[in-house]
Amino acid sequence: MIKATICLGLLISYYSVNSEIISKGLNSTYVPDWWQTSIIYQVYVRSFKDSNGDGIGDLIGLTQKTDYFKNLGVGAIWLSPIFQSPQLDFGYDISNYKEIDKSYGSLADFDRLLIEFHKAGIKVILDFVPNHTSDEHEWFIKSVKKIAPFTDFYVWKDPVIKDGERHPPNNWLSVFNSGSAWEWNEERQQYYLHQFLVKQPDLNYRCPTVVEDIKNTLSFWLGRGVDGFRFDATNYLFEREDLLDEPKSGKPDYEDTDYDSLNHIHTLDQPETYDMVRVWREYLEKYAEIKQEPFTKFIMVECYSPFDKTMMYYGTPSAPAAHFPFNFQFIGKFNHQSNAHDLRDVVVSWIRNMPEGMWPNWVLGNHDNSRIASRLDPMLVDGLHMIQLLLPGTAVTYYADELGVEDTYVRWDQTIDTAGLNVGPRRYEKFSRDPARSPFPWDDSINAGFSNGSKVWLPINPRYWRDNMMAQTKFKSHLKTYKQLARLRQSPTFVRGDLHVYAFSKWVFGFSRSYYDHPTYFVIINLGSEMETINLLNARNTLPDILKVKISSINSGYVTGNLLHSEYITMRPKTALVLTTSRINEDNY
């Protein structure tokens, strides 16, 4: 990747009309790995398809939808946690890493899922939770009793005694509990650390046996045939051993017991954490080598960390860590107020700041955040997917975002997410993640085709009668646009091509992809609320006078095959286009 900045503006004079290459593309001899050219699709299993009428999505239901993923153009599915769990945090509180939770099925169901998805050419990635377990895990139960070798499996500390009273070791706060990250255990007579729920005690990675047992767990699932892992909450793995208090963050609108009231310099992104990710990468690579696996065993990590610390999870060319840390720039830095220059910075900053030789990725949403159609604008869904799927890098899609599904309003009496329940009815809407986890709307039948049961675990979006998968197969829709983009991204121009980035005006963003004698493509998105006319010849004067519409957003007023003059591209508000220099229909894409 060439580390260079570029922003070109037609309407803003201080931007040069000469563009520079942001990404020089791939060498013609380089063969991209499967995870580099794939769309990775996050399946929130609990909300995808219920096969037995209990109102909860399961592995059998998911397997029944294999063809949906194949037709969508997905290369890998990432499953939300399916391990045995009390489900207080819906699988992120694991009580047995080597069993499937009964609400989702059995190991036999999982094995059948692997067979069917692999038969369809789709990889399967598991969501692995390394930072903590459930307090119902055998490891914790034995650690409480100081039974070897589990005595130091968790972070145990003695109390601080002040004026004869017992206090937690320091001021560290829990993400979910609106209070201390320490919980007193009467039987052991010590505090244990829980950076999330009280019932999610943190593992102690300074204990060598913990490290080995986690490796053994990864080996168990690799042996069953999984293709990789998404590591949850990776940046929480280690904490400072001297237990220094964390300073106040100074952020407004947070109470002293709220997690964001502190600056977490002692509990996040510690140096040992990066070393542990490298250990996992080496372990997966060694496993693949010994077993003579034909495909790379993949690792991606979640870390809502400062930008510079996030980049460190890539590792270095000589000591790689994750294949990539999630790129949350579109979640954390892009909003309703963002203009074309902000969008340009989001794109360029990631590519420019990656360590040499590393691979970008683009994430628009996930199970912890409001959906893109609600967080930004429903009419921008197609344009954002054009960016996500046609930039160089791996695209990670959250289930049902291909339909442009919006958040589902969940009343207080319907709320089940602990992050919302713990703060009470006055503030639950700010913290609850339930609205983004509503069941997938398959059709306009009862329960949107998700379940034939009498009750589902979360409310169905009330717009399902109109906004559902089946309906979107019958007219110009977000789903059809997504499928077009998924096919197009497999063309040589998008797999290997150069990248130029432009800000045509304050509100119109664009980029182009080009590769040797293959067609050049322009992607243009009008983020604004007014119609604008763009002159692409000011960006690249070598363009032909006429460009063809390859893909258009549903609100654009254009259709595939329309011919547009390069000097006069009229864009309605919130619309997007993919234009090509080719006058031939590339049916394969």
Q: 358-371, pLDDT tens digit by residue?
A: 999 999 999 999 99
Half-sphere exposure of 100 (CA within 13 A, CB side): 20
Query: For the residues of 151-177, what is the DSSP string, one character each?
Result: TTSB-EEPPEEETTEEE-SS--B-TTT
Least reliable range by pLDDT among 5-9, 195-199, 217-221, 390-394: 5-9
pLDDT bin (cut points 50, 70, 90) of residue 540 is confident
What's the pLDDT tens digit per position in 318-337?
Answer: 999 999 999 999 999 999 99
Judging by beta carbons within 10 Å of its beta carbon (0-12, 13-18, 19+), is residue 474 exposed, middle or buried? exposed
Amino acid identity at 202:
D
Per-residue pLDDT, averaged over 502-523, amounts to 95
Strand partners, 257: none
For a pLDDT cut of 90, what percent of the chain falls above it? Answer: 91
Task: Name the 3-class secondary structure at 381.
Answer: helix
Is residue 349 within 8 A of residue 358, CB to CB? The reply is no
**Dihedral of the CA atoms 326, 329, 332, 335 (nearest 10)?**
-140
Indicate which residue of 58, 101, 183, 232 is catalytic.
232
Q: What separation in angstroms does the CA of 564 have from each of 71, 514, 538, 571, 585?
A: 30, 19, 15, 11, 16
Q: Within a domain: residue 473?
A: yes
Q: How many whole angstroms separate alpha carbon 175 and alpha carbon 188?
A: 24
Task: Name the 3-class secondary structure at 417.
Answer: coil
pLDDT number for residue 538: 86
Q: Which residues contact 267 (CB under 8 A, 6 or more apart)?
A: 172, 181, 195, 236, 239, 240, 246
- On average, the pLDDT of the chain sits at 94
CATH number for the domain that contains residue 118: 3.20.20.80
pLDDT number for residue 16: 38
pLDDT number for residue 6: 28
Q: Within a domain: residue 13?
A: no
361 closest CA partner among 401, 309, 307, 397: 397
What's the pLDDT tens digit per position in 393-440?
Answer: 999 999 999 999 999 999 999 999 999 998 899 999 999 999 999 999
Q: Within a domain: residue 179?
A: no
pLDDT number for residue 25: 86
3-state SS record for 478-518 = HHHHHHHHHHHCCCHHHHHCEEEEEECCCCEEEEEEECCCC
Indicate which residue of 127, 183, 302, 345 is catalytic.
302
Q: Is residue 232 annotated as a catalytic residue, yes or no?
A: yes
User: Before 208, cis peptide (omega within 30)?
Assistant: no
Half-sphere exposure of 509 (CA within 13 A, CB side): 22
pLDDT number for residue 11: 30
Q: How many whole angstroms separate alpha carbon 311 and alpha carbon 320?
A: 12
Full residue range of the structural domain in which residue 317 is found: 38-131+209-235+267-481
Amino acid identity at 451:
S
Residue 4 has pLDDT above 50, yes or no: no
pTM: 0.94
Least reliable range by pLDDT among 91-95, 176-180, 294-298, 321-325: 176-180
Q: Within a domain: residue 262?
A: no
Q: Within a domain: residue 250?
A: no
Q: Which residues contact 363 (CB under 8 A, 6 or more apart)?
A: 326, 327, 328, 330, 331, 396
Q: How many whole angstroms separate alpha carbon 421 and alpha carbon 433?
A: 10
pLDDT bin (cut points 50, 70, 90) of residue 19 is low
pLDDT number for residue 14: 30
pLDDT number for residue 108: 98
Helix axes 478-488, 381-390, angle to 10 degrees: 10
pLDDT number for residue 208: 98
User: What is the count of structural domains for the chain?
Assistant: 1
Report the side by side order of strands in the sheet with 190-193: 156-157, 190-193, 182-185
Q: Which two tokens stand for residue 529?
A: 């609320």
pLDDT number for residue 461: 97
Burial of 212-233, coded b for 16+ CB within 10 Å and e otherwise, reads ebbeebbeebbeebbbbbbbbb
Which is more confident, 122 or 10?
A: 122
Q: Within a domain: residue 445?
A: yes
Q: Within a domain: residue 106?
A: yes
pLDDT number for residue 410: 98
Helix axes 271-290, 208-224, angle to 10 degrees: 40
Q: Within a domain: residue 65?
A: yes
Q: Is residue 33 annotated as a catalytic residue, yes or no?
A: no
Q: What separation in angstroms does the CA of 539 have from each of 45, 289, 461?
A: 45, 47, 43
User: What region, left, alpha or beta, does residue 129 occupy, with left being phi > 0 and alpha being psi -120 to 50 degrees?
Assistant: beta
Least reliable range by pLDDT among 43-57, 257-271, 380-394, 539-553: 539-553
Q: Which residues contact 163 (CB under 8 A, 6 or more apart)?
A: none
Task: Name the 3-class secondary structure at 84.
Answer: strand
Q: Which residues contact 185 (CB under 8 A, 6 or more apart)?
A: 144, 191, 192
What's the pLDDT tens digit per position in 243-298?
Answer: 999 999 999 989 999 999 999 999 999 999 999 999 999 999 999 999 999 999 99
Helix axes 208-224, 107-119, angle to 10 degrees: 60
Task: Name the 3-class secondary structure at 204.
Answer: coil
Length of the chain in terms of residues written: 589
